[in-house]
Amino acid sequence: MTADPADTSTAKPPMLRQAIAFIHENAHRDITLSDIAASVNVTPRSVQYTFRRHVGATPLEYLRCLRLNRAHRELQAADPSVDTVMAIAGRWGFGHAGRFSSMYKRRFGTSPSSTLRG
């Protein structure tokens, strides 16, 4: 699964496209499944079902993937003499260093600190 802004194909239901857009616009905020559902005026269960059917993941899994991608890009562009892994991870909603590092390494095949050092 990828959390790609181009992933809003017209073959997907309008509600899903709107939910994905909401997630992309608010990924830096502390949003919940209920927030996503409210943004498209459906129940949380309906959002989950639609994501599972069309994306192959829950809305929160999609959000986590998007946040990991954004943290990855930020780590690649960061200055290691000024920026820290945890500051960047924290900006994207990751508060636990070990969990972030584990998810990051599983997704990108390297540690966040290695990416930061470039």
Q: Is the pLDDT of residue 11 over 90?
A: no
| pLDDT confidence tier of residue 5, bands split at 50, 70 and 90 | very low
Mean pLDDT for the stretch of residues 21-38: 97
Q: Is the pLDDT of residue 52 over 80?
A: yes
Do both 77 and 54 map to the same domain? no
Listing DSSP states for 60-72 in one string gives: HHHHHHHHHHHHH
User: Residue 3 region, left (φ>0) first, then alpha (ψ -120 to 50), else beta?
Assistant: beta
**Inside any domain, residue 77:** yes
The CATH number assigned to the domain holding 69 equals 1.10.10
Angle of the 44-54 helix axis to the 14-26 helix axis, nearest 10? 100
- Percent of the chain scoring above 70 in pLDDT: 92
Q: Would the pTM count as exceeding 0.75?
A: yes
Q: How many domains does the chain have?
A: 2
The CATH number assigned to the domain holding 49 equals 1.10.10.60
Find the domain containing 91 and state its range: 64-117
**Inside any domain, residue 9:** no
